[in-house]
Amino acid sequence: MNTQAPASPPSRWLPLLLAVAIFMQMLDTTILNTALPKMAADLNESPLNMQSAVIAYALTLALLIPLSGYLVDRFGTKKVFIASMALFMLGSAMCAAAPNLPMLIVARVVQGIGGSMLVPVPRLTLLRVYDKSQLLNAINYAVMPALLGPILGPLVGGYLVDYASWHWIFLLNLPIGALGMFMALKIMPDVKGEKNQLDLVGFVLFAAGATALSLSVEMVTHPGAAIFSLLLAAGSGAAAWLYWKHADRDDAPLYARNLFQVRTYRLGLAGNLFSRLGMSSVPFLLPLLFQVAFGFSASLSGWLIAPIALASLLTKPVIKPIIAHFGYRRVLVANTRILGILIMCLAIPSADTPLWLWMILLLFIGTSNSLQFSAMNTLTIADLRPYQTGSGNSLMAVNQQLAISFGIALGALILNFLSKSSIGTANLHSAFRYTFIYIGAVTFISGWIFTGLHGSDGENLVKKPPKT
């Protein structure tokens, strides 16, 4: 794609702008879970019904990520980024002012519209203004500080809830967003590309199918909505079928069907979706377990959840050697099953279990999570042709956000059903225990998908280049 690159060299601070954007998005994603029980009390809702506030944001991200490349090509990186940051800040302010759950969901959608562009646009800017020889260092410089977001999120959220109010978890975005906008005005180049035509029909069909499926899972938890949920599921299937037919006829579909002819991409995408269902439920369920079932404070809950993200960060340096030694197939088959067992192990401890045992278990889960994410993500795009990488990367990012949305909906569905059964009415902790067993089993079973890989798959990603 031809781009209108800036004549002057990029600012050395440009990677820091991507770091601010990623940090902001990751902080917002992880800070909310810890605050949900307190938010539920203030909004007169059951804490077991607050999943919609999380799902609305993740689903909005998933639906709008495909638009980022088109909008940048048409309007330029600088305008799109500043507009997205303004929308994100507006949504954050609306969240803080929301008087009830429906208004909070609307505000989260506004926030998600802005958030969907926060990371793709600066990343695309780096790709277009840096030489390949400088690109890896620039991206690493940007990503490493941003990885602190998932560690700080639960801690900051917990302390804000305990010592201020939950409104501050959203108001915190305003000064960070103002910094990002100031930096963008000063240092962000306004790079455009060819004004490619958007596959509007494909986008509408894809978005309709994903939204209907997510709402179908969500509506099951509401009394008397079973028939409506089935209709939504049927509508989702119809939209998916229509998109498949459309992609076969259109010259430039949103996601070309030839992507699924690449075996590693097809398996990686399916494994990403199904293995993440259980993994995505855990950060949502744990704060509810600690605060609602155990009566822990929000700040203590934050300290207990932080080891998941900390272990993920510390594991990064050893991932490549592990994969190089065992191979992608063995790592993904074994680690998916290990992760499923670890999630099921969350059913064992109780409120009286020493906190250090909880932290050890969650460190193991964070380590396994990190290995899983890195292995799945790199293998999924390993065999794509150059002309497929842009579309393939976009669909993988959308798939991940959909998995988060579906995973939280699934976890909430199981927990709500069990909490209203004889299991939950007798002991809420028992409902949580069975929920962890079920979602862990889903993750364990999803390891079967990776058995379709070949032992040599991904070798080109980890083998050392021959000496010359």
Pairwise CA distance, residues 400 & 406, whole Å: 10
4 in a structural domain? no
Burial 349-361 (b: 16+ CB within 10 A, else e): beeeeeeeebbeb
End of a domain among 195, 211, 228? 195
160 & 54 share domain: yes
CA-nearest of 405, 323, 307 to 372 is: 323
Instruction: Assess if residue 406 is contained within a domain.
Output: yes
Q: Extract the tokens encoding 467.
A: 């000496």
Q: Which of 217, 237, 253 is the last residue of a domain?
A: 253
Q: DSSP class of residue 296?
A: -
| Most distant CA atoms of the chain, gap in Å | 70
Closest CA to 356 of 309, 400, 303: 303
Q: How many domains does the chain have?
A: 3
145 and 219 in one domain?
no
**Is position 1 within any domain?**
no
Residue 263 CB neighbours (<10 A): 13
Low-confidence residues of the chain: pLDDT under 70: 1-11, 131-147, 193-196, 221-224, 422, 424-426, 462-468
Long-range CB contacts (< 8 A, 24+ apart) of 450-455?
Answer: 450/267, 450/271, 450/329, 450/332, 450/333, 450/336, 451/329, 451/333, 452/263, 452/267, 453/264, 453/267, 453/328, 453/329, 453/332, 453/333, 453/379, 454/329, 455/327, 455/329, 455/330
pTM of the model: 0.87
User: Do 189 and 282 fall into the same domain?
Assistant: no
Query: Quick one: angle between helices 14-42 and 298-326, nearest 10?
Result: 130
Which CATH number is 119's domain given? 1.20.1250.20
**Same domain, yes or no: 141 and 216:** no
Residue 5 lies in a domain: no
Q: Are 341 and 446 in contact (CB under 8 A)?
A: no
DSSP 291: I
Tokens 């997510």 sit at which residue?
A: 214
The DSSP H or E segment spanning 44 is: none
- Domain closes at, from 175, 195, 215: 195
Q: For residue 171, what are its two tokens?
A: 């108001």
Q: Does any domain span residue 6?
A: no
Is 171 among the domain residues?
yes
Contact criterion met (CB below 8 Å) for 432 and 240: no
Do 249 and 309 lie in a common domain?
no
Do the Cβ atoms of 13 and 187 come closer than 8 Å? Answer: yes
Predicted confidence (pLDDT) per residue in 248-261, tens digit: 888 788 888 888 88
- What 3-state DSSP class applies to 383? coil
Residue 453 belongs to domain spanning: 258-468
Residue 349 and residue 382 in one domain: yes
* End-to-end CA separation in angstroms for the chain: 34
**383 lies in the same domain as 460:** yes
For residue 263, what are the contacts with CB-CB under 8 A and spacing of at least 6? 383, 452
| 43 and 176 co-located in one domain | yes
If asked whether residues 98 and 223 sit together in one domain, one would say no
- Tell me, yes or no, whether 35 and 55 share the same domain: yes
Distance CA 168, CA 165 (A): 6
